[in-house]
Structure 1
């Protein structure tokens, strides 16, 4: 009967939901990151040149926005958020943009963007917000240290990320909403650094966002790691001239998420083809044996390989096939 295949697909979608939920550890009674108020940030003119002077002005504006959000959090009575924001406002931190509303939006630079010849833009996965931000930033720091001089890494939290305990984790809706912001950011980065080699690094649910933004992006590489799928059947469907890479560690639970895409009247569930499968057609790299959050861990196999991709040293990347 025609209904049986559909029922089987729905059953697999429900299994995917259960697998996803099983790895989440809900925090009872915790406030939602979006619940802490913050002021609307000041409008910023586009960054047209990454000169030291222009960057210093932009970083100063970002610091002002963070301090305004810190005052709002303190007035709200959230001491933990206020302390987090004070740390972000340290003179050594470099934010191209900051918005403390709705869990936070940031674009933080690690390294010297003015002199950088190689730039990596990190797009995070689920449960990334101001309350968990330092975990994300530590990955950017590790990658920039691996890359060394003449490099910069941008930790781009330009969108609301889904929670592993939310139905949003099963649909591309948040990715579709955030992709235009990613496109605008990368276009601005290209205008500011036209000669730099830029790579887009996409972890977990972030790979769905990258896929939605991929068509025509001014990047050399799109690197998918720990990806549940992108919503595209093949690399060709991404409509990009970038080299598309994919890697998944042997200890990553995301391998157990069924690779389906089920169109329902109210939503699309799942993300389709496994990016590390031959059917998808990405170039594979060895992602080691770590867990879902270990891809940019200092000293790890995937960190070394991802750094080599960002540097354009393809011959030195160990094959993940």
Structure 2
């Protein structure tokens, strides 16, 4: 028997879900559907799933395509299920392309083209506020942000701004966004929050433009290139009651926060010294090696190594 397995939240079941299940079923003789548990959804950032686990299971069962339904309860369960059930093919939507290639060691992995123009996010927008995010910049970091956003409920990436409209249009098509523009005023009119992933020297200007347009801002590090610019931006955001946040992902990782709690609890004793480094293998003409591109590696990477020092020892240093 050729067994196929797929997984999903299947919240507010729609035609896109049904189409995926239908095509997955056609790939084998027996289709197993894993539906994520409520606790697992919360753990991985899906904060506004509207239907209970039982409702979502009933909806999947009602399609008639699932021969068996299981509950996905923890990270890493997919490998366990594939081995235990003798799965031949793992199927998932194309918006996850590459994410599950590690499963090729255990079975065939198929990414099915998703049904465009419909999503659970779009359905939720009818009844619940969704943060509409626009991206300034269309380089490699911006691409990673779009992929990461799929893990978080309550947000939707709408469009992209770049003074180079050709780059913006290409990014829009690749990431399947709603719009691309080189007009900043139009850009702000179509979103409620901004993610800035442009070159370092442009951060302060874009931050202030966004705040003056009444938009919340998440900006890649370094937030600005001087202390004066940083304080001006924070003061303005505070006055206007807007969010201004620097995008240092490590600071918000559960494992990092847990490590800080353990260290501060005294579990390993009284901390006297912290040594931190950031290493990476790189080649070519990259900004980490170019001081003329807004500071080189200090501005690009030092925030990561300063982070544990500041978090654990504070900012009341005597000598810098």
Larger radius of gyration: 2
TM-score (norm 2): 0.26
Structure number with the higher helix fraction is: 2
